A and B are shown apart, each in its own frame.
Chain A
Amino acid sequence: MRPEEDIRQMIDRWNRKTSGQMDERVLGDVLHAMDESQGQVPSGPPFRRRSIMKNPITKLAVAAAVIAAVVLGLFEFISTDAGSGVVWAEVAQKVEASPGVIYRGRGNRSDSKYSMNYLSATKNRQDTYESGELTVSHYLDFETMIASSIFHTQKHYWRDAPLGEQNAQGHDEMTDPKWLVQSILSCEHKTLGEKTIEGILCEGLETSDPAVLGKELPVPASDINIRMQLWVSAETSYPVLCEGNVTAAFEGQTHTSEWVMDQFQWDARLEPGLFEPNVPTDYKEI
């Protein structure tokens, strides 16, 4: 007889994948059901399997699960060590004054999946790449309060979906590096000295203050251990790298989350066209 391990491995390899058609009909019905349960649309006819329902959806950029829940807005500076070449108050001011910023977000340094994020004062765009290929593009417009998404892998899209209050609030909760920098600076932190990153002389700060996660956590976690580092160019006073990890206990289990934000382009003047969804003609609306 075949060894048991052989059978286990076969079962491990045994996978069925959903088709694009199935994704379309299931997601359509699921989002419709969600709308109904939230009272956002009047009750309609019963769900019909294998039917394609048009449904709006909104997208918020999420780079790291825990950080996505950060409630920021504190701006109370704690003075850093004397002798630092970087004037940290100036960092906060420059970051805040930056009209736009571009950065790369990843789960960790070796993650092949990453997102390129484009943030202006009123618009966000996030392009997600997996193994070098663009998979999803999300657009949020906080002036018109609409959102659009293009799923390149499935060749699907939705556009001009109204942004709900929840998603509008998410604008502040998101991994907006401006907010993140201010949060780190407002928490208890220590200086890390100098380090050259990508050829740029930087000075760093590190915080292990759970307050950097904000006043409210989305789940009642305990034993929170966080380490967040911010590295700023000694020459320009703009952030170059922000990374961190957090472990927290929840319902008897320890959970870990990591994130890395780098390849920053500060003081960016982002063209309005960058935030206009450009849907290829062969993509299907869902």
Chain B
Amino acid sequence: MLEDRLLVLRCRRGNREAMCRIYQKYKDLLLTVATGLLHEPAEAEDVVHDVFVAFAQSADQFQLTGSLKGYLATCVRNLALDRIRVNARRAEGPKPVISSPAAQDPERDAVATEELAQLQSAMGRLPYEQREVIVMHLKAGLRFREIARLQGVSISTSHARYRYGIDKLRSLLNGEVQK
């Protein structure tokens, strides 16, 4: 978006307001992506923190060639992957941290929150590569060819991982709380 280009340009010139706007605009999305990839709330927060700090440190020389959203989401993915590699797989199960959807009806809200907790739990049972494609495609808005480049695989493999991931989610969530 043109707005992002302008914000980046202002950041390069040291405009803190522009940096704050970028943070406000993308913080929730990036935290959701990080949580989806890491399943560890505190680590997800640290990843988002580190991404924004790194972005701020290089803001005066930063050149945006694609979308800012895609760039930041990719940074989150890279840092999350680093942490996963360092920490290795955790033995314990995922810890769902879900913010409630904006429902007005408390009963419906509770059902929706439970449903999303189940989704988070099911996501945690997917192989990382499948989870990554789903999160980066559906939440971060990256195209399959962009994800394929990140994962170092062909577009068809990236697409297949998405397909398998979605099918597994459908299976895992089968019979769970319906909308």
Contact = CB atoms under 8 A, between A and B. Distances in A.
Q: Do A and B bind each other?
A: yes
A1 B6 CA distance: 46
Contacts of B58: 37
Interface string B1-20: 11101100101011111011
Interface in B15-59: 15-17, 19-21, 23, 27-28, 31-32, 35-36, 44-46, 48-49, 52-53, 55-59
Contacts of B32: 14-16
Contacts of B56: 29-31, 33-34, 37
B153 interface: no
B6 A10 contact: no
A7 B14 contact: no
Q: A interface, how many residues as a size bin? A: 35 or more
Interface residues of B, number: 58
A1 to B, nearest CB: 4
A60 B15 CA distance: 9
Contacts of A60: 15, 17
Interface string B164-179: 0011011101101011
Contacts of A36: 57
Interface pairs A-B: 6 shortest CB-CB: A255-B2, A33-B56, A1-B170, A65-B3, A34-B56, A38-B14
26 contacts: A1-B174, A7-B170, A11-B119, A14-B36, A14-B119, A15-B32, A16-B98, A23-B23, A26-B52, A26-B53, A29-B56, A30-B19, A30-B56, A31-B16, A31-B20, A34-B11, A34-B19, A34-B59, A37-B58, A40-B14, A57-B17, A58-B15, A219-B9, A250-B2, A250-B5, A251-B65
Interface of A: 1-4, 6-18, 22-23, 25-27, 29-31, 33-34, 36-38, 40, 47, 49, 57-60, 62, 65-66, 68-69, 164, 166-167, 170, 218-219, 221, 248, 250-251, 255-257
